[in-house]
Chains A and B, each alone.
Chain A
Amino acid sequence: MIARALRASLLALACSCALTCAARATDSAVELSERELLSVLTLSPLAPPPEDTTNRVATSPDAIALGKRLFSDARLSGNGATACSTCHDEALGWADGKPVAVGAAIGKRNTPSLWNAAYNRWFFWDGRADSLWAQAVGPIEDGAEMDGDRLHVLALVANDVELRRDYEALFGAVPELAARLPARGGPLANDGERQAAWWTLAADEQDAASTVLANVGKAIAAYVATIRTAPAPFDRFVADLRAGRTDSRAISSAAQRGLKIFIGRGNCVLCHSGPSFTNFEFHDTRVAPPAADTAFDPGRLAGVARLLNDEFGAAGPYSDDAAGTRAQQTYFVSASAGLLGHFKTPGLRNVALTAPYMHAGQLPTLTAVVEHYSSLEHASPPADPAHMEALIRPIGLDAAEIADVVAFLESLTSDAAPLIR
């Protein structure tokens, strides 16, 4: 019954859109069919992010405050010079503006923006983590990013009076181990000395240090989950449509034309779906590697292997809900060879603020991204032809149409208030 009534109202709305078009043909107002209207309505508004039951402090104000401090604390890194905020700079759209991340070393992938990170199902370009806190742990120990290690993190938390106080208020006592353990060591350290130090520890000592690292990740995740986009002009446009204001000028005519391409022959919406403008899954975009001699990046296929062996996974010993929804979705993950060379579909809210684009920052502008999908002129062959995304094929947009799609993408940029806190 509800559907019937809604359908009737949508039919009326679609007819109204058509009349609007006829009346305003001179300024190229855009007509939306009923089918297009239905598609547009699925893209806004953005609901709150899903709950993360694997992190018991995910919404704690104290954890958010601690996480905010840790996010900018370069002491977590091996050389004391790199913090999360080094690459995730608010002024650069919570990314770094570089093609690939530069931390302790030069990485191989683009720094993803943190806008709306809490909405994700999988984390990192290859989805090798299944929670925001597991993601936060990763760069701390990655040799190319912060190059820290978990004994170093344990010592930092144990020896900094304020840090220890705030940590213990959330997670309980810091184990009295730091004084008698090596200052550095971890299973993922990129040098033999630190790895050897780790493997001299007893299992309970390793577990204690890993617990502290996981909790540091949970506090950082609590903070990162607050980095959310405010409504954009596009949201006002959709709100106008819902209210029957079919002559909405909340976004430009160019952006409306771009929207039609986005949900229509561009097929963009098939992957960039829903209010986050992502299906949270993985695809082979066929964008060429940064250089001819760049080593092939297996993407999701390798990510699944790491995900299923991640000690900080949602079903792992440091999760606060090891049998919950996140753990179950990891259990059902496919390790199909068809995932070779696939990378996560990024959300598009505030995308105009986060250049360069694609998993290795290969494309410098949104125009270049749309040109890529329009022509595939410089595209790589499918990573796995047997499992290629058949819908990625040239659609031949002209320059004006490309500009329209870019105008639409720019209409996804949040209004004045940059953050929802």
Chain B
Amino acid sequence: MGHVRENAYREHRGALSVCAALLAALLPCAAGAQPAHAGHAGHAEAARVPTAQVPTSLVSENGSFAITLEASPSPIRLNEPFELTVAARALAGDGRGVLSVTVDAQMPAHRHGMNTRPYREALREDRFLFRGMLFHMSGEWEIVIEAAQGSVRDRAIVRLVIE
């Protein structure tokens, strides 16, 4: 009985999260929307997703990498651990060199990041699993994805509102 009630409650909370995300999309100012990153307005703004649902694909700020993302569980929920699978493909340069991808996250309005240190596991040479991520506060988070290959280095920022 307890498990049934707990599961029902969690499903309800999940629905609330989605609903909250929709509301946040309608009210970006109230959701603490931040201006696009200076100097990379076009791409950064394109990556802005005011929801806890991570976009599945995006292009890095200077157009150097095509990046695909998959969060698990999805949508990301407040104070619950999640994993992020990141694949990157170079769109610039000669494609030589080992691809490196790092992920971090921060709350720009709070001036701090996560209390965890994500662990990276290489699934393929261009695909990485980041485990141990956790957003412990509600509000706007930025996931910063940095990719480098050879002399090409670029980043993408995904902005999410966690309710």
Contact B19 A3 (CB under 8 A): yes
Show 21 A/B contacts (Cβ-Cβ < 8 Å), sorted by A.
A2-B18, A10-B19, A38-B23, A38-B163, A42-B13, A45-B9, A47-B10, A273-B79, A281-B115, A331-B119, A331-B132, A332-B116, A333-B116, A334-B114, A334-B116, A336-B115, A387-B111, A388-B112, A389-B110, A389-B111, A390-B111
Answer yes or no: A203 CB below 8 A from chain B CBs: no
Please give, as numbers and ranges, the residues of chain A lying within 8 Å of B11 by CB-CB distance. Answer: 2
Chain A residues with CB under 8 Å of chain B are: 2-3, 6-7, 10, 34-35, 38-39, 41-42, 45, 47-48, 269-271, 273-274, 279-282, 328-329, 331-336, 338-339, 387-391
Please give, as numbers and ranges, the residues of chain A lying within 8 Å of B112 by CB-CB distance. Answer: 338, 387-390
10 pairs of A and B residues whose beta carbons are closest in the complex = A332-B132, A3-B18, A334-B117, A281-B136, A390-B111, A332-B116, A7-B19, A2-B15, A3-B19, A279-B136
Please give, as numbers and ranges, the residues of chain A lying within 8 Å of B109 by CB-CB distance. Answer: 390-391
Q: Count contacts on B: residues with CB < 8 A to the other chain.
A: 38
Contact A282 B110 (CB under 8 A): no
Shortest Cβ distance from residue A2 to the other chain B in the assembled complex, whole angstroms = 5
Please give, as numbers and ranges, the residues of chain B lying within 8 Å of A48 by CB-CB distance. Answer: 2, 6
Which residues of chain B from 1 to 37 have any CB-CB distance to chain A below 8 Å in the complex? 2, 5-6, 9-11, 13, 15-16, 18-20, 22-23, 27, 30
Contact B138 A3 (CB under 8 A): no
**Chain A residue with minimal CB distance to B116?**
A332
Question: Which one of B2, B22, B115 contacts A333 once the chains associate, using CB atoms below 8 Å?
Answer: B115
Question: Which one of B2, B22, B134, B137 contacts A271 once the chains associate, using CB atoms below 8 Å?
Answer: B137
Which residues of chain B from 109 to 159 have any CB-CB distance to chain A below 8 Å in the complex? 109-119, 131-132, 134, 136-139
Bound together, the chains give a CA A7 to CA B138 distance in angstroms of: 19
Contact B81 A329 (CB under 8 A): yes
Shortest Cβ distance from residue A225 to the other chain B in the assembled complex, whole angstroms = 14
Contact A334 B115 (CB under 8 A): yes
Contact B79 A274 (CB under 8 A): yes
Chain B residues with CB under 8 Å of chain A are: 2, 5-6, 9-11, 13, 15-16, 18-20, 22-23, 27, 30, 78-79, 81, 109-119, 131-132, 134, 136-139, 163
Question: Which one of A39, A273, A329, A387 contacts B137 once the chains associate, using CB atoms below 8 Å?
Answer: A273
Known: A6-B15, A335-B117, A336-B115. 16 other contacts (CB 8 A): A6-B16, A7-B23, A42-B16, A48-B2, A273-B138, A274-B79, A281-B79, A281-B115, A328-B131, A332-B119, A333-B115, A333-B117, A336-B117, A389-B110, A390-B112, A391-B109
Contact B136 A390 (CB under 8 A): no
Please give, as numbers and ranges, the residues of chain A lying within 8 Å of B131 by CB-CB distance. Answer: 328, 332
**Chain A residue with minimal CB distance to B131?**
A332
Question: Which one of B19, B118, B139 contacts A270 once the chains associate, using CB atoms below 8 Å?
Answer: B139
Question: Which one of A6, A274, A336, A388 contacts B19 once the chains associate, using CB atoms below 8 Å?
Answer: A6
**Chain B residue with minimal CB distance to A338?**
B112
Please give, as numbers and ranges, the residues of chain A lying within 8 Å of B119 by CB-CB distance. Answer: 331-332
Contact A332 B117 (CB under 8 A): yes
**Chain A residue with minimal CB distance to B27?**
A35
Please give, as numbers and ranges, the residues of chain B lying within 8 Å of A41 by CB-CB distance. Answer: 16
**Chain A residue with minimal CB distance to B137?**
A270
Contact A38 B16 (CB under 8 A): yes
Known interface pairs A47-B6, A331-B119, A387-B112. Does A35 touch B15 (Cβ–Cβ under 8 Å)?
A: no
Known interface pairs A47-B9, A332-B117. Does A35 touch B136 (Cβ–Cβ under 8 Å)?
A: no
Please give, as numbers and ranges, the residues of chain B lying within 8 Å of A328 by CB-CB distance. Answer: 131-132
Contact A34 B23 (CB under 8 A): yes
Bound together, the chains give a CA A61 to CA B76 distance in angstroms of: 36
Please give, as numbers and ranges, the residues of chain A lying within 8 Å of B139 by CB-CB distance. Answer: 270
Most chain A C-beta atoms within 10 Å of own C-beta, residue among B20, B132, B163: B20
Question: Which one of A35, A274, A279 contacts B23 once the chains associate, using CB atoms below 8 Å?
Answer: A35
Please give, as numbers and ranges, the residues of chain A lying within 8 Å of B16 by CB-CB distance. Answer: 6, 38, 41-42
